[in-house]
Amino acid sequence: MNKDYAVIGLGRFGGSIVRELRVLEMDVLAVDVDENRVNEFIDIATQAVIGDTTDETVLKDLGLGNFDNVIVAIGDNIQSSILTTLLLKDLGVKKVSVKAQNDYHARVLEKIGADVVIHPERDMGRRVAHKLASSSVLDYLELSDEHSIVEIMAEEKLSDQSLLDLDIRAEYGVSVIAIKRGEDIIVSPDPTVNIQKEDILIMIGNDDDLTRFEKSLTR
């Protein structure tokens, strides 16, 4: 078995990662200290095992040091999450991705070498806020603290104008990287192409610039 991924902590977050990786046909080792949780994943994960990952011998017995990708989705128990991350990095796991409960937890995780720190609730909250704040924003994806990708409904306001006419890049400093038109996706659209009412513009840029653009649509 090629156990590409290991997921530690089978709550809603860790559990959904296991399910989705399986949909993507990846091999996943699922680990939790709670037997009931492990039982739920016996038929879903490639292998599901009971184990306390704050115990170094458990990690070694499971061969976790040989994994390229380990996801630590331990919830409220911040101490266990930190200790598990530290041990995994010591064992030489290339990429350890960890769910953070709050900003302090995130800062500690970054200091001890976590490769990816995930803030699912915070990120989803931001995403929902952007969608709620503007009826034109269909989706929002944070790329960094300052940059995002947004999907914006063109609607009446932008229709029948080309990107050249709108001069969005010069005016707002944001770029249209693709246009969704029905089933089609026009990647790197030609600036002379005319926007249609039902087009969805996929835009990338600095958050402040994107917000200025979003606001201009509601005026």
Chain residues in the site for ligand ATP (CB under 6 A): 8-14, 31-34, 37, 52-54, 74-77, 80
194 Cβ contact list (under 8 Å, min separation 6)? 160, 161, 162
Smallest distance, Å, CB 4 to ligand ATP?
19
Smallest distance, Å, CB 120 to ligand ATP?
8
Q: What end-to-end distance do the CA atoms of the chain give, in Å?
A: 57
CB-closest chain residue to ligand ATP: 75
Smallest distance, Å, CB 31 to ligand ATP?
6
The residue among 55 and 115 lying less far from ligand ATP, judged by its C-beta, is 55
The residue among 42 and 185 lying less far from ligand ATP, judged by its C-beta, is 42
**What six digits make up the tokens of 99?**
């769910």
**Distances in whole angstroms, Cα of residue 33 to Cα of each of 10, 58, 158:** 9, 11, 54
Write the DSSP assignment of 33-94 as a string of letters: S-HHHHHHTTTTSSEEEE--TTSHHHHHHTTGGG-SEEEE---S-HHHHHHHHHHHHHTT-S
The residue among 52 and 115 lying less far from ligand ATP, judged by its C-beta, is 52
**Distances in whole angstroms, Cα of residue 188 to Cα of each of 49, 176, 182:** 46, 7, 17
Smallest distance, Å, CB 192 to ligand ATP?
47
Among 82, 61, 62, CA closest to 6: 62
The residue among 101 and 175 lying less far from ligand ATP, judged by its C-beta, is 101
The residue among 3 and 37 lying less far from ligand ATP, judged by its C-beta, is 37
Smallest distance, Å, CB 215 to ligand ATP?
33
